Amino acid sequence: MSDAGVRLAGVAARLRAACARAGRPEDAAALVAVSKFHGADAVLPALRTGHLRFAENRVQEAQTKWPALRERYPHVELHLIGSLQSNKAADAVRVFDVVQSVDRPKVATALARAMDREGRRPRCYVQVNTGAEGQKGGIAVGEVAAFVKECRETLDLPVAGLMCIPPAAGDPAPHFRLLRSLAADTGLPGLSMGMSGDFETAVAEGSTLVRVGSAVFGARPAGPAGAAPATELP
Ligand SMILES: *Cc1c(COP(=O)(O)O)cnc(C)c1O
């Protein structure tokens, strides 16, 4: 098996063990392999192991990488985990099965319109800025309840849960706990939290979906696969 295949199996085993330690079923948290910046050649070994759940952080990179891979692996479930520009909502609805980065009202509205037009309804996660970081996207903690209500009731978006990216420094556990309590308050079952460095902590705090990149694919190349110029980065 390839390196990525071996590492993927190792992460999956750690994830099952973390679920068991938390007294949860072994499959309580699903693994999303984050393939951003890696080309199709790097993704194929993971697909060959039978893994089907992947994530990208840019619409354009997903559009160049995934259609050909999907022809060979039609049951892939592709997640968007990066900030979405509202003018790319229709493209996102066409290429992704799950949008984890619903992080502002304009994006929610654009997604709802695009879903009506495209006749596809990717499941959505509301991204919460648990650390109140100025440079980071996401709904402020105090606005989550109203925003989720608007997404579900006014826009009829298929909201599956909440997502967070804790601040890079410091203990992520309080952020995971906060997200869990917000999800409980809003009656949402899905909790997308946990990355390569902290997914076991996230599982202990109730994660149902972990987003793991470098622990599966190794260090990331410097920019998107298919080389969008750096000036396009958000
Ligand atoms: C890149 C990324 C990940 C994966 O990060 P790793 O530390 O490589 O596992 C997870 N979530 C989001 C939102 C990301 O942008």
CA distances from 51 to 32, 46, 76, 109, 118 (A): 9, 6, 8, 32, 27
The pLDDT, as a whole number, for residue 229 is: 42
23 in any annotated domain: yes
User: What pLDDT was estimated at residue 1?
Assistant: 62
What is the pLDDT, as a whole number, of residue 97?
Answer: 98
Position 231 in a domain: no
Could you tell me if residue 60 is inside a domain? Answer: yes
* 202 within domain boundaries: yes
Q: What is the CATH number of the domain that holds 17?
A: 3.20.20.10
Tens digit of each residue's pLDDT, the chain (234 residues): 678 999 999 999 999 999 999 999 999 999 999 999 999 999 999 999 999 999 999 999 999 999 999 999 999 999 999 999 999 999 999 999 999 999 999 999 999 999 999 999 999 999 999 999 999 999 999 999 999 999 999 999 999 999 999 999 999 999 999 999 999 999 999 999 999 999 999 999 999 999 999 999 999 988 898 644 444 444
Into how many domains does the chain fold? 1
Tokens at 107, concatenated = 């994006």
Structural domain contains residue 225? no
Give the closest residue to 229 by CA, choosing from 58, 86, 33, 114.
Answer: 58
- Which atom of ligand 1 has the smallest separation from the CA of 34? 4
d(CA 89, CA 68): 21
Ligand 1 proximal residues by C-beta, below 6 Å: 34, 36, 57, 81-82, 165, 195-197, 211-215
Contact between 89 and 113 (Cβ < 8 Å): yes
Measured in degrees and rounded to the nearest 5, phi and psi for residue 50 equal: 100, -5
Centre a 10 Å sphere on the Cβ of residue 16 and count the other Cβ atoms it contains. Answer: 17
Q: Name the pairing type of β-strands 98-102 and 123-128.
A: parallel
What's the pLDDT at 231?
A: 44
Judge whether 15 lies within some domain. yes
- Which amino acid residue places its CA nearest to atom 5 of ligand 1? 213
The answer to whether residue 130 sits within a structural domain is: yes
State how far the Cα of 91 lies from the Cα of 12, in Å rounded to an integer.
31
Residue 102 lies in domain: 3-217
Q: What is the pLDDT of residue 225?
A: 86
**How far, in Å, CA of 44 to CA of 48, rounded?**
6
In a domain, 222, yes or no: no
CB-neighbour burial class of residue 136 (10 A; exposed 0-12, middle 13-18, buried 19+): middle
Nearest CA residue ID for atom 14, ligand 1: 81
Is the separation of the CB atoms in 111 and 89 below 8 Å?
A: yes
